[in-house]
């Protein structure tokens, strides 16, 4: 048996990305990475999920950039 813990926030953000039309990426710290990334660093500190530049660019490619003033 493999002992693995999952961070619900990371998993939820990843799945929301799929709902919005994003595919997996090869960028390791992207929310849309192909493989689950542990949410703790080497020292055991929590890594808060943040959208990478690639994640933002990919979603803008689908939906366009945010229009200011709306």
25-to-22, 54, 55 alpha-carbon distances in Å: 9, 9, 9
Q: Check if the beta carbon of residue 25 is closer than 8 Å to that of residue 59.
A: no
Burial of 46 (0-12, 13-18, 19+ CB in 10 A): exposed
63-70 average pLDDT score: 78
Is residue 27 a known part of a binding site? no
Q: Check if the beta carbon of residue 61 is closer than 8 Å to that of residue 32.
A: no
Q: Check if the beta carbon of residue 60 is closer than 8 Å to that of residue 52.
A: no
Where in the sequence numbering do the catalytic residues fall?
Answer: 15
**Per-residue confidence band for 13, with pLDDT thresholds at 50, 70 and 90:** very high
Whether residue 1 is predicted with pLDDT greater than 60 in this model: the reply is no
Is residue 43 a known part of a binding site? no
* Radius of gyration from C-alpha coordinates of the chain: 14
Q: Where are the domains of the chain?
A: 8-63
Is residue 29 a known part of a binding site? no
pLDDT per residue as tens digits for the range 15-62:
999 999 999 998 878 899 888 777 888 998 998 888 999 999 999 999
pLDDT at site 69: 67
């Amino acid at each position: 048996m493999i002992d693995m813990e999952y961070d619900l926030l990371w998993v939820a953000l990843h799945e929301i990305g799929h709902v919005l039309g994003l595919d997996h990426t090869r960028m390791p710290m992207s929310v849309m990475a192909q493989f689950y990334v542990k949410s703790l660093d080497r020292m055991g500190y929590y890594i808060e999920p943040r959208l990478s530049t690639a994640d933002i660019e990919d979603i803008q490619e689908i939906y366009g950039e945010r229009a200011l003033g709306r």
